[in-house]
Protein backbone atom coordinates (compact mmCIF):
# COMPACT_ATOMS: atom_id res chain seq x y z
CA UNK A 1 0.00 0.00 0.00
CA UNK A 2 2.83 2.35 0.85
CA UNK A 3 4.51 1.48 -2.45
CA UNK A 4 1.36 2.12 -4.44
CA UNK A 5 0.83 5.47 -2.70
CA UNK A 6 4.40 6.39 -3.49
CA UNK A 7 3.92 5.54 -7.15
CA UNK A 8 0.74 7.54 -7.27
CA UNK A 9 2.55 10.53 -5.76
CA UNK A 10 5.31 10.18 -8.38
CA UNK A 11 2.73 10.00 -11.14
CA UNK A 12 0.92 13.12 -9.90
CA UNK A 13 4.22 14.97 -9.61
CA UNK A 14 5.15 13.97 -13.16
CA UNK A 15 1.79 15.12 -14.53
CA UNK A 16 2.00 18.45 -12.69
CA UNK A 17 5.58 18.96 -13.85
CA UNK A 18 4.67 18.24 -17.45
CA UNK A 19 1.70 20.59 -17.25
CA UNK A 20 3.88 23.34 -15.75
CA UNK A 21 6.51 22.78 -18.45
CA UNK A 22 3.88 22.98 -21.21
CA UNK A 23 2.46 26.17 -19.70
CA UNK A 24 5.94 27.65 -19.46
CA UNK A 25 6.63 26.81 -23.11
CA UNK A 26 3.29 28.38 -24.07
CA UNK A 27 4.12 31.58 -22.18
CA UNK A 28 7.58 31.63 -23.69
CA UNK A 29 6.15 31.26 -27.17
CA UNK A 30 3.65 34.06 -26.50
CA UNK A 31 6.39 36.29 -25.12
CA UNK A 32 8.48 35.51 -28.18
CA UNK A 33 5.61 36.41 -30.50
CA UNK A 34 4.92 39.62 -28.56
CA UNK A 35 8.61 40.47 -28.62
CA UNK A 36 8.82 39.73 -32.33
CA UNK A 37 5.76 41.93 -33.00
CA UNK A 38 7.19 44.73 -30.87
CA UNK A 39 10.51 44.53 -32.70
CA UNK A 40 8.71 44.69 -36.04
CA UNK A 41 6.63 47.75 -35.17
CA UNK A 42 9.67 49.44 -33.66
CA UNK A 43 11.44 48.97 -36.96
CA UNK A 44 8.39 50.38 -38.74
CA UNK A 45 8.47 53.52 -36.58
CA UNK A 46 12.21 53.98 -36.99
CA UNK A 47 11.52 54.79 -40.66
CA UNK A 48 9.85 58.06 -39.61
CA UNK A 49 12.11 61.08 -40.04
CA UNK A 50 11.66 63.10 -36.84
CA UNK A 51 13.85 66.02 -37.86
CA UNK A 52 12.21 69.47 -37.88
CA UNK A 53 12.98 71.91 -40.64
CA UNK A 54 13.97 75.04 -38.65
CA UNK A 55 12.43 77.29 -41.30
CA UNK A 56 8.99 76.04 -40.14
CA UNK A 57 9.58 77.15 -36.58
CA UNK A 58 8.15 80.66 -36.56
CA UNK A 59 6.08 82.86 -34.28
CA UNK A 60 2.30 82.70 -34.60
CA UNK A 61 0.18 85.84 -34.76
CA UNK A 62 -3.54 86.56 -34.45
CA UNK A 63 -4.37 82.98 -33.57
CA UNK A 64 -5.65 80.85 -30.69
CA UNK A 65 -5.57 77.35 -29.19
CA UNK A 66 -2.12 76.46 -30.53
CA UNK A 67 -0.23 73.62 -28.79
CA UNK A 68 3.06 74.48 -27.08
CA UNK A 69 6.38 74.16 -28.91
CA UNK A 70 7.12 70.58 -29.89
CA UNK A 71 3.51 69.45 -29.45
CA UNK A 72 0.82 68.41 -31.95
CA UNK A 73 -2.90 68.14 -31.19
CA UNK A 74 -4.34 64.72 -32.13
CA UNK A 75 -7.93 64.61 -33.46
CA UNK A 76 -9.94 61.63 -34.73
CA UNK A 77 -13.09 61.46 -36.84
CA UNK A 78 -15.32 61.73 -38.57
CA UNK A 79 -18.73 60.00 -38.24
CA UNK A 80 -20.71 58.70 -35.27
CA UNK A 81 -20.40 55.18 -36.64
CA UNK A 82 -16.68 55.46 -37.34
CA UNK A 83 -15.93 56.85 -33.89
CA UNK A 84 -17.99 54.14 -32.20
CA UNK A 85 -16.10 51.47 -34.14
CA UNK A 86 -12.80 53.09 -33.21
CA UNK A 87 -13.70 53.05 -29.50
CA UNK A 88 -14.78 49.42 -29.68
CA UNK A 89 -11.57 48.36 -31.45
CA UNK A 90 -9.19 50.26 -29.15
CA UNK A 91 -10.79 50.43 -25.69
CA UNK A 92 -7.46 50.44 -23.84
CA UNK A 93 -5.76 53.18 -25.84
CA UNK A 94 -5.50 56.81 -24.76
CA UNK A 95 -8.23 58.98 -26.22
CA UNK A 96 -7.28 61.65 -28.75
CA UNK A 97 -7.33 65.29 -27.80
CA UNK A 98 -10.29 66.01 -30.05
CA UNK A 99 -13.01 64.69 -32.33
CA UNK A 100 -14.20 65.81 -35.76
CA UNK A 101 -17.78 66.32 -36.94
CA UNK A 102 -19.69 68.02 -39.78
CA UNK A 103 -22.71 70.26 -40.39
CA UNK A 104 -24.03 72.53 -43.17
CA UNK A 105 -24.60 76.27 -43.35
CA UNK A 106 -28.08 75.60 -44.75
CA UNK A 107 -29.53 73.74 -41.75
CA UNK A 108 -28.88 73.13 -38.06
CA UNK A 109 -28.60 69.34 -38.20
CA UNK A 110 -26.03 67.03 -36.67
CA UNK A 111 -25.08 69.53 -33.98
CA UNK A 112 -27.42 69.25 -30.98
CA UNK A 113 -29.19 66.18 -32.35
CA UNK A 114 -28.02 63.14 -34.30
CA UNK A 115 -28.50 63.40 -38.04
CA UNK A 116 -28.01 60.67 -40.66
CA UNK A 117 -27.20 62.26 -44.00
CA UNK A 118 -27.28 61.09 -47.61
CA UNK A 119 -23.84 59.43 -47.33
CA UNK A 120 -25.38 56.87 -44.99
CA UNK A 121 -23.37 58.10 -42.00
CA UNK A 122 -24.35 60.15 -38.96
CA UNK A 123 -23.16 63.37 -37.32
CA UNK A 124 -23.72 64.47 -33.74
CA UNK A 125 -21.52 67.19 -32.22
CA UNK A 126 -23.23 67.19 -28.83
CA UNK A 127 -22.68 63.45 -28.40
CA UNK A 128 -18.94 64.05 -28.65
CA UNK A 129 -19.17 66.82 -26.06
CA UNK A 130 -21.07 64.66 -23.58
CA UNK A 131 -19.13 61.45 -24.10
CA UNK A 132 -15.60 62.87 -24.19
CA UNK A 133 -14.82 65.49 -21.55
CA UNK A 134 -11.49 67.32 -21.73
CA UNK A 135 -11.36 67.12 -25.52
CA UNK A 136 -11.80 69.72 -28.26
CA UNK A 137 -14.23 69.70 -31.17
CA UNK A 138 -13.15 70.19 -34.77
CA UNK A 139 -16.30 71.27 -36.58
CA UNK A 140 -16.50 71.37 -40.37
CA UNK A 141 -19.12 73.62 -41.96
CA UNK A 142 -20.19 72.50 -45.45
CA UNK A 143 -20.65 75.36 -47.91
CA UNK A 144 -20.26 75.02 -51.67
CA UNK A 145 -20.75 77.29 -54.66
CA UNK A 146 -23.96 75.69 -55.88
CA UNK A 147 -27.49 76.89 -55.06
CA UNK A 148 -26.17 80.37 -54.19
CA UNK A 149 -25.00 79.15 -50.79
CA UNK A 150 -22.25 81.77 -50.31
CA UNK A 151 -24.39 84.73 -51.41
CA UNK A 152 -27.35 83.47 -49.38
CA UNK A 153 -24.99 83.35 -46.42
CA UNK A 154 -23.81 86.93 -46.59
CA UNK A 155 -27.31 88.13 -47.43
CA UNK A 156 -28.46 86.74 -44.08
CA UNK A 157 -30.67 83.90 -45.32
CA UNK A 158 -29.04 81.45 -42.89
CA UNK A 159 -28.88 83.71 -39.86
CA UNK A 160 -31.25 81.48 -37.91
CA UNK A 161 -28.88 78.54 -38.40
CA UNK A 162 -25.92 80.67 -37.31
CA UNK A 163 -27.86 81.89 -34.29
CA UNK A 164 -28.49 78.32 -33.12
CA UNK A 165 -24.89 77.30 -33.75
CA UNK A 166 -23.61 80.34 -31.83
CA UNK A 167 -25.76 79.45 -28.83
CA UNK A 168 -24.57 75.83 -28.92
CA UNK A 169 -20.90 76.82 -29.32
CA UNK A 170 -21.04 79.07 -26.26
CA UNK A 171 -22.60 76.25 -24.22
CA UNK A 172 -19.92 73.59 -24.72
CA UNK A 173 -17.16 75.36 -22.76
CA UNK A 174 -14.21 74.01 -24.73
CA UNK A 175 -12.05 75.00 -27.72
CA UNK A 176 -13.87 74.70 -31.03
CA UNK A 177 -11.91 74.62 -34.30
CA UNK A 178 -14.35 75.70 -37.02
CA UNK A 179 -13.54 74.95 -40.68
CA UNK A 180 -15.65 77.36 -42.71
CA UNK A 181 -16.39 76.08 -46.22
CA UNK A 182 -13.72 73.41 -45.90
CA UNK A 183 -11.62 72.65 -49.01
CA UNK A 184 -12.68 76.04 -50.36
CA UNK A 185 -10.39 75.76 -53.42
CA UNK A 186 -11.38 72.22 -54.40
CA UNK A 187 -12.92 71.91 -57.89
CA UNK A 188 -15.66 69.74 -56.38
CA UNK A 189 -16.89 72.67 -54.27
CA UNK A 190 -17.12 75.23 -57.10
CA UNK A 191 -16.60 78.22 -54.82
CA UNK A 192 -15.84 81.55 -56.45
CA UNK A 193 -13.21 83.36 -54.34
CA UNK A 194 -15.09 86.65 -53.96
CA UNK A 195 -18.27 84.98 -52.79
CA UNK A 196 -16.38 82.66 -50.47
CA UNK A 197 -14.48 85.50 -48.80
CA UNK A 198 -17.67 87.53 -48.28
CA UNK A 199 -19.47 84.53 -46.77
CA UNK A 200 -16.52 83.58 -44.57
CA UNK A 201 -16.15 87.11 -43.16
CA UNK A 202 -19.91 87.41 -42.66
CA UNK A 203 -19.97 84.25 -40.52
CA UNK A 204 -16.97 85.31 -38.41
CA UNK A 205 -18.44 88.77 -37.87
CA UNK A 206 -21.79 87.25 -36.94
CA UNK A 207 -20.27 84.98 -34.28
CA UNK A 208 -18.16 87.82 -32.93
CA UNK A 209 -21.27 89.96 -32.62
CA UNK A 210 -22.81 87.16 -30.53
CA UNK A 211 -19.72 87.09 -28.26
CA UNK A 212 -18.75 83.55 -29.22
CA UNK A 213 -15.17 83.54 -27.93
CA UNK A 214 -14.22 79.84 -27.97
CA UNK A 215 -13.94 79.43 -31.75
CA UNK A 216 -10.64 79.20 -33.64
CA UNK A 217 -11.37 79.88 -37.32
CA UNK A 218 -9.70 77.40 -39.69
CA UNK A 219 -9.06 78.26 -43.35
CA UNK A 220 -8.88 74.83 -44.99
CA UNK A 221 -7.39 74.31 -48.46
CA UNK A 222 -7.85 71.24 -50.64
CA UNK A 223 -4.07 71.39 -51.29
CA UNK A 224 -4.41 70.11 -54.86
CA UNK A 225 -5.21 71.59 -58.27
CA UNK A 226 -7.38 74.64 -57.42
CA UNK A 227 -10.79 75.45 -58.86
CA UNK A 228 -10.41 77.29 -62.20
CA UNK A 229 -6.71 77.80 -61.49
CA UNK A 230 -7.34 80.67 -59.06
CA UNK A 231 -4.45 81.77 -56.85
CA UNK A 232 -4.55 80.60 -53.25
CA UNK A 233 -4.48 84.20 -52.02
CA UNK A 234 -7.72 84.97 -53.92
CA UNK A 235 -9.66 82.99 -51.30
CA UNK A 236 -7.93 84.52 -48.27
CA UNK A 237 -10.24 86.54 -46.01
CA UNK A 238 -7.38 88.22 -44.13
CA UNK A 239 -5.17 87.64 -41.10
CA UNK A 240 -7.78 89.03 -38.72
CA UNK A 241 -10.25 86.38 -39.85
CA UNK A 242 -8.01 83.32 -39.88
CA UNK A 243 -6.58 81.62 -36.79
CA UNK A 244 -5.30 78.45 -38.48
CA UNK A 245 -4.41 77.34 -42.00
CA UNK A 246 -5.26 73.73 -42.89
CA UNK A 247 -4.82 71.22 -45.69
CA UNK A 248 -6.32 67.86 -46.62
CA UNK A 249 -3.94 64.90 -46.85
CA UNK A 250 -5.20 61.93 -48.81
CA UNK A 251 -3.35 60.94 -51.97
CA UNK A 252 -0.73 63.60 -51.25
CA UNK A 253 1.03 61.45 -48.62
CA UNK A 254 1.79 58.68 -51.10
CA UNK A 255 4.56 61.05 -52.20
CA UNK A 256 7.19 62.18 -49.72
CA UNK A 257 7.00 65.83 -50.86
CA UNK A 258 3.15 66.02 -50.72
CA UNK A 259 3.10 67.93 -54.01
CA UNK A 260 3.52 71.53 -55.05
CA UNK A 261 0.03 72.65 -53.99
CA UNK A 262 0.53 71.51 -50.39
CA UNK A 263 3.89 73.25 -50.25
CA UNK A 264 2.29 76.45 -51.54
CA UNK A 265 -0.24 76.40 -48.68
CA UNK A 266 2.44 75.76 -46.06
CA UNK A 267 4.54 78.65 -47.34
CA UNK A 268 1.46 80.87 -47.33
CA UNK A 269 0.78 79.92 -43.70
CA UNK A 270 4.37 80.71 -42.76
CA UNK A 271 4.25 84.08 -44.52
CA UNK A 272 1.10 84.93 -42.55
CA UNK A 273 2.40 83.46 -39.26
CA UNK A 274 -0.40 80.92 -38.92
CA UNK A 275 -0.17 77.40 -37.42
CA UNK A 276 -0.93 74.51 -39.77
CA UNK A 277 -3.45 71.70 -39.29
CA UNK A 278 -3.86 68.53 -41.32
CA UNK A 279 -7.64 68.87 -41.11
CA UNK A 280 -8.56 65.66 -42.95
CA UNK A 281 -6.18 62.74 -43.53
CA UNK A 282 -6.39 59.09 -44.46
CA UNK A 283 -4.58 56.55 -46.71
CA UNK A 284 -7.52 56.33 -49.08
CA UNK A 285 -6.21 53.38 -51.11
CA UNK A 286 -6.75 51.17 -48.11
CA UNK A 287 -5.19 49.44 -45.12
CA UNK A 288 -5.02 45.71 -45.85
CA UNK A 289 -4.88 42.97 -43.26
CA UNK A 290 -2.22 40.82 -44.89
CA UNK A 291 0.56 43.35 -45.63
CA UNK A 292 2.12 46.47 -44.15
CA UNK A 293 2.89 48.17 -47.44
CA UNK A 294 0.68 51.15 -46.55
CA UNK A 295 2.95 51.96 -43.62
CA UNK A 296 5.95 52.53 -45.88
CA UNK A 297 3.94 54.10 -48.70
CA UNK A 298 1.77 56.50 -46.68
CA UNK A 299 2.23 56.58 -42.90
CA UNK A 300 6.01 57.09 -42.94
CA UNK A 301 5.57 60.08 -45.26
CA UNK A 302 2.65 61.35 -43.17
CA UNK A 303 4.45 61.34 -39.82
CA UNK A 304 7.72 62.57 -41.32
CA UNK A 305 5.81 65.52 -42.80
CA UNK A 306 4.26 66.28 -39.41
CA UNK A 307 7.70 66.48 -37.81
CA UNK A 308 9.50 68.18 -40.70
CA UNK A 309 6.90 70.92 -41.28
CA UNK A 310 6.14 71.46 -37.58
CA UNK A 311 2.45 70.63 -38.02
CA UNK A 312 0.50 71.73 -34.94
CA UNK A 313 -2.68 69.64 -35.28
CA UNK A 314 -3.71 66.51 -37.18
CA UNK A 315 -7.12 64.96 -37.76
CA UNK A 316 -7.20 61.34 -38.92
CA UNK A 317 -10.34 59.90 -40.50
CA UNK A 318 -10.88 56.26 -39.51
CA UNK A 319 -13.15 55.17 -42.34
CA UNK A 320 -14.21 52.51 -44.80
CA UNK A 321 -14.85 54.73 -47.82
CA UNK A 322 -16.57 51.94 -49.74
CA UNK A 323 -19.60 52.09 -47.48
CA UNK A 324 -20.17 55.82 -47.90
CA UNK A 325 -22.29 57.23 -50.69
CA UNK A 326 -19.94 60.05 -51.72
CA UNK A 327 -19.62 60.92 -55.43
CA UNK A 328 -16.15 60.91 -56.94
CA UNK A 329 -14.37 58.57 -54.52
CA UNK A 330 -15.21 55.22 -56.06
CA UNK A 331 -11.57 54.09 -56.00
CA UNK A 332 -11.13 54.84 -52.29
CA UNK A 333 -11.04 51.77 -50.07
CA UNK A 334 -11.38 50.55 -46.50
CA UNK A 335 -8.71 52.45 -44.55
CA UNK A 336 -9.63 51.79 -40.93
CA UNK A 337 -6.67 51.39 -38.58
CA UNK A 338 -7.85 48.12 -37.05
CA UNK A 339 -7.76 46.35 -40.42
CA UNK A 340 -4.09 45.59 -39.73
CA UNK A 341 -2.88 44.87 -36.15
CA UNK A 342 0.75 45.74 -36.91
CA UNK A 343 -0.13 49.01 -38.63
CA UNK A 344 -2.45 50.01 -35.78
CA UNK A 345 0.21 49.11 -33.20
CA UNK A 346 2.80 51.17 -35.05
CA UNK A 347 0.25 54.03 -35.19
CA UNK A 348 -0.27 53.97 -31.43
CA UNK A 349 3.44 53.56 -30.73
CA UNK A 350 3.85 56.90 -32.50
CA UNK A 351 0.81 58.90 -31.32
CA UNK A 352 1.17 57.74 -27.71
CA UNK A 353 4.36 59.79 -27.51
CA UNK A 354 4.23 62.92 -25.37
CA UNK A 355 4.52 64.97 -28.56
CA UNK A 356 0.83 64.36 -29.34
CA UNK A 357 -1.77 66.08 -27.18
CA UNK A 358 -4.51 63.71 -26.10
CA UNK A 359 -7.43 63.82 -23.70
CA UNK A 360 -6.33 65.12 -20.31
CA UNK A 361 -7.41 67.43 -17.52
CA UNK A 362 -4.51 69.67 -18.54
CA UNK A 363 -5.32 69.83 -22.27
CA UNK A 364 -7.27 73.09 -22.32
CA UNK A 365 -4.56 74.82 -20.29
CA UNK A 366 -1.93 73.61 -22.76
CA UNK A 367 -3.97 75.11 -25.59
CA UNK A 368 -4.36 78.43 -23.78
CA UNK A 369 -8.09 78.05 -23.27
CA UNK A 370 -9.33 79.82 -20.14
CA UNK A 371 -12.73 78.39 -19.28
Q: What digits encode the pLDDT tens for the residues 191-235?
A: 999 999 999 999 999 999 999 999 999 999 999 999 999 999 999
Q: Are residues 64 and 19 in the same domain?
A: no
As a whole number of angstroms, the distance between CA 39 and CA 44 comes to: 9
Q: Are residues 234 and 347 in the same domain?
A: yes
pTM of the model: 0.90
Q: Provide the pLDDT for residue 34.
A: 55
**Count of domains in the chain?**
2
What's the mean pLDDT when you consider all of the chain?
91
Residue 371 lies in a domain: no
Position 99 pLDDT exceeds 60 = yes
Q: What digits encode the pLDDT tens for the residues 248-268?
A: 999 999 999 899 999 999 999
Q: What digits encode the pLDDT tens for the residues 337-357?
A: 999 999 999 999 999 999 999
Residue 346 lies in a domain: yes
Domain span at 36: 1-46
Q: Are residues 130 and 229 in the same domain?
A: yes
Assign 38 a pLDDT band (cuts: 50, 70, 90).
Answer: confident
Q: Are residues 8 and 132 in the same domain?
A: no
Q: Provide the pLDDT for residue 330.
A: 85
As a whole number of angstroms, the distance between CA 251 and CA 332 comes to: 10
Q: Are residues 15 and 86 in the same domain?
A: no
Q: Domain holding 275: CATH number?
A: 3.20.20.80
Q: Are residues 65 and 115 in the same domain?
A: yes
Overall average pLDDT of the 18-36 stretch = 42
Position 8 pLDDT exceeds 80 = no
Q: Which range among 22-26, 69-73, 292-296, 364-368 shows the weakest confidence by mean pLDDT?
A: 22-26
Q: Are residues 253 and 295 in the same domain?
A: yes
Tell me the Cα Rg of the chain. 25
Q: Are residues 15 and 142 in the same domain?
A: no
Overall average pLDDT of the 11-31 stretch = 39
Sign of CA dihedral 42, 48, 49, 53: negative
Contact 50, 309 (CB under 8 A): no
Q: Are residues 185 and 212 in the same domain?
A: yes
Assign 30 a pLDDT band (cuts: 50, 70, 90).
Answer: very low
Q: Are residues 207 and 344 in the same domain?
A: yes
Amino acid sequence: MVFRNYELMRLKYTIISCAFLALSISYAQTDHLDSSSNDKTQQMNLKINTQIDPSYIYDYRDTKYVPPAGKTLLIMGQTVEGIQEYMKAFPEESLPGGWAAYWAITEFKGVEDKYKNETGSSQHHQLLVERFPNTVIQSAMWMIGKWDMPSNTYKGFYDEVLKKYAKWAKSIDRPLYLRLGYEFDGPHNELEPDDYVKAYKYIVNYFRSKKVDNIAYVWHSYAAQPYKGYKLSDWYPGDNYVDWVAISVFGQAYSSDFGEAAQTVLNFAKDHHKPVMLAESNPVYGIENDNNRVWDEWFVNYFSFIYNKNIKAISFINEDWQRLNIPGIGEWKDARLYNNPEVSKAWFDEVNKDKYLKQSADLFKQLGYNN
